[in-house]
């Protein structure tokens, strides 16, 4: 019997141990403080589930108490909506009681109040408008430090609506390049964005707003007239002292609260650097010169840049020859190459104004003394030029386009001793004066060129060696004779265009197919400048095969006697006038030219 009672007692003990209530330890109950006073409202039922664990809520009653003693005695239970009475952190006690047996268990609960980021609306973020559409690209993140007051434990995100901010959805994904909303082609201006500030340690949130605004730029007139001054003493230096501010009323365009600075470069104007210290006393450095005016709103700092030119006007530089001639039956055009927008003209013949001849050029049909009065429309003065024009009988014995008088290359009055290509035919009877297989008439009728005094034909010099093409057997100066640039071997170099750019090869130095023939004669001239004689020293020994020719700056050959001794030749230059000459040495197909100055 005793043994049966003992077994029953052990069974009851085991049963009570197996089914006793357990008050599980809950996690800290953490809330964010909306006013940062350290106190917050807690819904204590929030932790019931954690205290119960796997136990059924129907079998147990949970109560919360401010002291452990109250929890043990089951008295002074707290209302389930509870405000902590100790700021930031308070420990309260939990009683779990079995509804059937009255048995209980207790545990602790930490009530934690975390501060919430309290932020206010930041100052607005403003950008200047670049094209008057009220749309700009903003870097919102430059306001992060202001919004967080430098708190590195807080992060900032931006939203277009308050609803999105509260729900933390549809965050602006690229806050460093945000374009304000567009409405009918123009920006929403100003626009309010909604900001969420998160404490990265606690997850507590704060809310504020950010206003973004596109500011208008000043609108100065973009048609600022140029400033023009006359060269007071007509020195030709084109430098005067300008007052750049004379058009400021037009530049301001009636906008108050703006200021102007002047700059000599566009980059300086846009950066606002290196402004002209005294724009009322500015001396130009070139003419024309562009000046850049930066118009700045003194409040916003937004600016616009406009420009205008300044230049100095002087008496016109007329490059007329003192005399011209034209052939009987032809006409002559005398052109000032000036603009009627800047100057007015009046032509006269033998002292009498020619009616209706008020243009920049004059077509002459008769000989006489012509004069042109050129008046600056800016009132900077008048220039009068007198020109003698002769009508001459032009004989062209070989019909090559160059009159006989111009074919007296050495200028001695004897046409018979001028034979440029040494073919035994004087130039005035030779239709190919330089023997390059290109007719003289073709070499003087190129579109480009310049007029030469007392010369009816155009002065054409492709390689700019001061020898006219019709007297030059290497017109493009590439070291290959024109006659050797007949690459199709039909006897006519004018139809060879190997690179198909419409320029004959003999006029284009970049095309030199016969490079195996290309070489030069190296020689020295000394003394240079010279007075009575000059020595030529060669880099080859067979000097007797070298032909020596001397030309003046007009391309006319001049007679110069010379003596050769071994590798040196002495030229007698005593009879030459002072000036620039060209010494040409030719050995077969090889030709070299050097300048010679006669003092």
The answer to whether residues 39 and 108 belong to one domain is yes
Asked, for residue 184, whether it belongs to a domain, the answer is yes
Which of the two residues, 588 and 499, has the higher pLDDT score? 499
H or E element at residue 263: strand 258-263
Residue 528 tokens, joined? 């240079």
Alpha-helix runs per DSSP H in 80-193: 144-148, 162-167
CA distances for 210 relative to 337, 474, 477, angstroms: 64, 78, 73
Residue 586 tokens, joined? 């030719």
CA distances for 136 relative to 165, 216, 260, angstroms: 23, 11, 25
Among 313, 343, 372, which residue terminates a domain?
Answer: 313
Domains in the chain: how many in total?
Answer: 5
Residue range 236-254: mean pLDDT, rounded: 89
Asked, for residue 9, whether it belongs to a domain, the answer is no
352, pLDDT greater than 60: yes
> Residue 80: its pLDDT value, please?
95
CA distances for 183 relative to 128, 132, 133, 172, 444, angstroms: 18, 14, 10, 19, 68
CA distances for 3 relative to 10, 11, 15, 392, angstroms: 11, 13, 19, 164
Q: Answer whether 535's CB lies under 8 Å from 583's CB.
A: no
Number of H helices, E strands in the chain: 8, 35
> Residue 513: its pLDDT value, please?
61
Residue range 57-63: mean pLDDT, rounded: 95
Residue 450 tokens, joined? 């310049």
449, pLDDT greater than 70: no
Average pLDDT, the chain: 83
Asked, for residue 417, whether it belongs to a domain, the answer is no
The answer to whether residues 299 and 327 belong to one domain is no
Asked, for residue 444, whether it belongs to a domain, the answer is no
The answer to whether residues 134 and 203 belong to one domain is yes
User: What pLDDT digit, counting tens, does each position of 493-526 carry?
Assistant: 777 777 777 778 777 777 666 434 444 566 777 7
Asked, for residue 169, whether it belongs to a domain, the answer is yes
90, pLDDT greater than 90: yes
Domain assignment of residue 203, given as a range: 125-215
Percent of all residues in the chain with a pLDDT value above 70, rounded to a whole number: 87
Distance separating alpha carbons of residues 463 and 444, to the nearest angstrom: 14
- β-strand pairing of 227-230 with 303-313: parallel
The answer to whether residues 527 and 594 belong to one domain is yes
Torsion sign across C-alpha atoms 472, 473, 479, 483:
positive
User: What pLDDT digit, counting tens, does each position of 398-416 carry?
Assistant: 777 777 777 777 778 787 8
Residue range 157-167: mean pLDDT, rounded: 95
Residue range 36-41: mean pLDDT, rounded: 92
Listed in order, strand segments (DSSP E) in 188-237 are 191-199, 205-215, 227-230
184, pLDDT greater than 70: no
> Residue 538: its pLDDT value, please?
65
The answer to whether residues 138 and 93 belong to one domain is no
Distance separating alpha carbons of residues 44 and 61, to the nearest angstrom: 13
Asked, for residue 541, whether it belongs to a domain, the answer is yes
- Name which of 583, 525, 580, 584 is nearest 553 in CA terms: 580
Asked, for residue 434, whether it belongs to a domain, the answer is no
The answer to whether residues 30 and 86 belong to one domain is yes
> Residue 518: its pLDDT value, please?
41
Distance separating alpha carbons of residues 286 and 171, to the nearest angstrom: 56
For the ranges 101-105, 182-186, 313-317, which has the lowest average pLDDT? 182-186
The answer to whether residues 290 and 360 belong to one domain is no
The answer to whether residues 243 and 303 belong to one domain is yes
Distance separating alpha carbons of residues 116 and 119, to the nearest angstrom: 9
Which CATH number fits the domain that encloses residue 101? 2.60.40
Torsion sign across C-alpha atoms 275, 280, 282, 286:
positive
The answer to whether residues 148 and 108 belong to one domain is no
CA distances for 171 relative to 26, 141, 313, 461, angstroms: 34, 14, 63, 74
The answer to whether residues 73 and 98 belong to one domain is yes
> Residue 290: its pLDDT value, please?
96
Q: Beta-carbon neighbour count of residue 162 at 10 Å?
A: 13
The answer to whether residues 138 and 111 belong to one domain is no
Asked, for residue 398, whether it belongs to a domain, the answer is no
Which CATH number fits the domain that encloses residue 378? 2.60.40.10
Among 149, 182, 215, which residue terminates a domain?
Answer: 215
Task: Name 125's bridge partners.
Answer: 212
Residue range 91-109: mean pLDDT, rounded: 96
For the ranges 212-216, 322-326, 443-447, which has the lowest average pLDDT? 443-447
> Residue 4: its pLDDT value, please?
46
CA distances for 485 relative to 17, 435, 512, 513, 588, angstroms: 121, 13, 8, 8, 15
User: What pLDDT digit, counting tens, does each position of 334-345 carry?
Assistant: 888 888 888 888
* The pTM of the whole model exceeds 0.85: no
> Residue 187: its pLDDT value, please?
66
Among 215, 244, 264, which residue terminates a domain?
Answer: 215
Residue range 311-317: mean pLDDT, rounded: 78
Instruction: Tell me whether the omega of the peptide bond preceding residue 527 falls within 30 degrees of 0, making it cis.
Output: yes
The answer to whether residues 209 and 232 belong to one domain is no
> Residue 3: its pLDDT value, please?
47
């Amino acid at each position: 019997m005793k043994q049966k009672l003992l077994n029953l007692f052990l069974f009851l003990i085991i049963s009570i141990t197996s089914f006793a209530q357990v008050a599980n330890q809950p996690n800290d109950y953490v809330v964010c403080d909306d006013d940062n006073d350290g106190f917050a409202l807690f819904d204590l039922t929030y932790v019931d589930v954690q205290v119960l664990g796997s136990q059924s809520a129907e079998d147990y009653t949970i109560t919360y108490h401010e002291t452990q003693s109250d929890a043990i005695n089951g008295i002074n239970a707290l209302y389930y909506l509870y405000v902590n009475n100790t700021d930031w952190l308070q420990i309260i006690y939990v009683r779990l009681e079995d509804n059937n047996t009255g048995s209980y268990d207790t545990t602790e609960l930490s009530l934690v109040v975390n501060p919430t980021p309290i932020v206010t609306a930041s100052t607005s973020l403003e950008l200047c408008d670049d094209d008057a559409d009220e749309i700009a690209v903003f870097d919102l993140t430059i306001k992060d430090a202001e919004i967080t007051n430098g708190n590195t434990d807080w992060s900032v995100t931006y939203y277009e609506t308050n609803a999105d901010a509260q729900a933390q959805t549809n965050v602006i994904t690229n806050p460093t390049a945000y374009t304000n909303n567009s409405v009918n082609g123009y920006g929403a201006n100003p626009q309010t964005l909604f900001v969420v500030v998160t404490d990265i340690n606690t997850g507590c949130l704060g809310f504020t707003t950010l206003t973004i605004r596109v500011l208008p730029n000043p609108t100065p007139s973009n048609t600022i007239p140029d400033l023009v001054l006359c060269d007071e003493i007509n020195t030709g230096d084109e430098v005067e002292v300008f007052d750049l501010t004379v058009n400021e009323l037009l530049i301001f365009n009636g906008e108050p609260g703006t200021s102007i600075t002047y700059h000599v470069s566009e980059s300086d104007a846009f950066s606002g650097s290196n402004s002209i210290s005294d724009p009322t006393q500015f001396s130009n450095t070139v003419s024309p010169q562009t000046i850049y005016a930066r118009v700045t709103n003194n409040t916003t700092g937004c600016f616009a840049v406009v420009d205008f030119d300044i230049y100095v006007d002087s008496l016109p530089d007329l490059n007329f020859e003192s005399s011209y001639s034209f052939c009987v039956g032809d006409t002559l055009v005398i052109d000032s190459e000036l603009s009627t927008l800047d100057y007015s003209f009046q032509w006269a013949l033998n002292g009498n104004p020619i009616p209706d001849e008020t243009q920049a050029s004059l077509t002459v049909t008769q000989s006489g003394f012509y004069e042109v009065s050129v008046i600056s429309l800016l009132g900077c003065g008048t220039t009068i030029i007198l020109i003698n024009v002769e009508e001459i009988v032009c004989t062209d014995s070989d019909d090559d386009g160059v009159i006989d008088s111009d074919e007296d290359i050495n200028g001695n009055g004897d046409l018979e001793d001028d034979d440029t290509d040494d073919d035994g035919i004087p130039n005035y009877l030779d239709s190919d004066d330089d023997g390059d297989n290109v007719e003289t008439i073709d070499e003087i009728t190129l579109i480009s060129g310049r007029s030469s005094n007392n010369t009816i034909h155009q002065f054409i010099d492709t390689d700019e060696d001061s020898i006219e093409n019709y007297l030059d057997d290497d017109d493009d100066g590439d070291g290959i004779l024109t006659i050797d640039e007949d690459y199709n071997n039909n006897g006519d170099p004018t139809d060879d265009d190997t690179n198909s750019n419409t320029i004959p090869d003999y006029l284009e130095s970049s095309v030199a197919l016969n490079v195996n023939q290309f070489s030069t004669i190296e020689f020295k001239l000394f003394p240079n400048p010279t007075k009575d004689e000059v020595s030529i020293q060669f880099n080859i020994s067979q000097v007797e095969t070298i032909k020596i020719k001397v030309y003046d700056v007009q391309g006319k050959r001049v007679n110069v006697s010379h003596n050769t001794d071994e590798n040196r030749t002495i030229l007698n230059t005593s009879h030459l006038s002072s000036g620039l000459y060209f010494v040409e040495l030719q050995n077969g197909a090889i030709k070299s030219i050097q300048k010679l100055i006669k003092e």
